[in-house]
Amino acid sequence: MRAGEMAEAYPVVGLDTSALVAARFIARDRLPGIVVTEADGSPKAVLAASQVVRFMVPDYVQDDPTLAGVLGDVPAARIADRLRQVKVAELLPEKPAELAVLHADDTIVEVAATMARLRSPLCAVVDHDRILGVITASRLLDLVCGEQFG
Amino acid sequence: MRAGEMAEAYPVVGLDTSALVAARFIARDRLPGIVVTEADGSPKAVLAASQVVRFMVPDYVQDDPTLAGVLGDVPAARIADRLRQVKVAELLPEKPAELAVLHADDTIVEVAATMARLRSPLCAVVDHDRILGVITASRLLDLVCGEQFG
């Protein structure tokens, strides 16, 4: 089995995509993150789910998490509004983690080695710069040693 | 909404659990990781899916990922056997990342702040040291700004 066969089709987002749209893709597919592409469609970065979660929290609470407790119950709609107002580009760290990019003919061990080296929960599989799909760490574990193998 | 209501029931594993069993739980539920408990049932660490993936790769390939290519196709069964032979304790880093532990009455912002601070894809929700369940980053995003909110 090679990376091209292991890849699953998931939506990707651009730097200009609304953070709320990215959050909803991650939520709907219960993904650990989502692939961010350049304007030409080539993969640029992984936006981890926890990076989106980070933006749900006001800046001053990010700096001092003990303040989260005194805020009380913030309506979910107000948090969603925060995400609606920013783009994916603003959620990425200044130096985004190296994107795990695999090629369609990479072997299981190559997929695992890349994912492990980058400690990435997901990687993009490309064929000549075109994204074929995504492999999550849990998908890889399922394909290699899932319950179907008894 | 508080953490206790947001938590989902997922299996936890102990330090003595076979790595293969942990891998299968992660794979079956498509989780970003799994909570590891002490012998008394209290939460100890998160075993990230990518840490299990790391162990799928022979040591010398972990040290030099370019060697992954020369291995060719390693049968999935042989990789699963590697996992069968070790316990969860051996997959955890020497200094495991701080476990994100939330309390049942924590607010959405407290959950998000903790998850963001630890950059953790999942956290355990406890009530007096008893684990009520787990909240993943994608679950949190779904509850706060999922498509159901239109």
Tens-level pLDDT at each residue, chain A (150 residues): 899 999 999 999 999 999 999 999 999 999 999 999 998 888 889 999 999 999 998 888 877 777 888 888 888 888 899 999 999 999 998 887 778 899 999 999 999 999 988 888 899 999 987 899 999 999 999 999 887 766
C-beta separation of A126 from A104 below 8 A: yes
Mark which residues 3-32 of B lie under 8 Å from A by CB: 20, 23-24, 26-32
Query: What is the model's pLDDT at position B150?
Result: 63
Closest CB to A147: pick one of B24, B76, B143.
Answer: B24
pLDDT at A125: 96
Looking at residues B100-119, what average pLDDT do you find? 92
Instruction: Tell me the DSSP string of chain A.
Output: -BHHHH-B----EETTSBHHHHHHHHHHTT-SEEEEE-TTS-EEEEEEHHHHHHHTS-HHHHH-GGGGGGG----HHHHHHHHHTSBHHHHS-SSPPPP-EEETT-BHHHHHHHHHHTT-SEEEEEETTEEEEEEEHHHHHHHHH-GGG-
User: What are B68-105's pLDDT values in tens digits?
Assistant: 888 888 888 888 999 999 999 999 988 877 788 999 99
Residue A64 is predicted with a pLDDT of: 78
Q: Who has greater pLDDT, B147 or A99?
A: A99
Rounded CA gap, A93 and A86, in Å? 14
Contact A121 B120 (CB under 8 A): no
Residue pLDDT, tens place only, B6-65: 999 999 999 999 999 999 999 999 999 999 999 888 888 999 999 999 999 888 887 777
Whether the CB-CB separation of A122 and A138 falls below 8 Å is answered with no
At residue A119's C-alpha, the angle toward residues A30 and B6, to 5°, is: 30
Closest Cβ opposite residue B50 in set A56, A61, A137:
A137
Residues 45-64, chain A: which have Cβ within 8 Å of B? 48-50, 52-54, 56-58, 61-62
pLDDT value of residue B18: 96
Q: What is the pLDDT of residue A8?
A: 96
Q: At what angle do helices A76-84 and A19-28 cross, to 10 degrees?
A: 120
For residue B59, the chain A residue with the least C-alpha distance is: A113
**Which residue has better confidence, A148 or B133?**
B133
Residue A115 forms contact with B (CB below 8 Å):
yes
Residue B107 pLDDT greater than 90, yes or no: yes
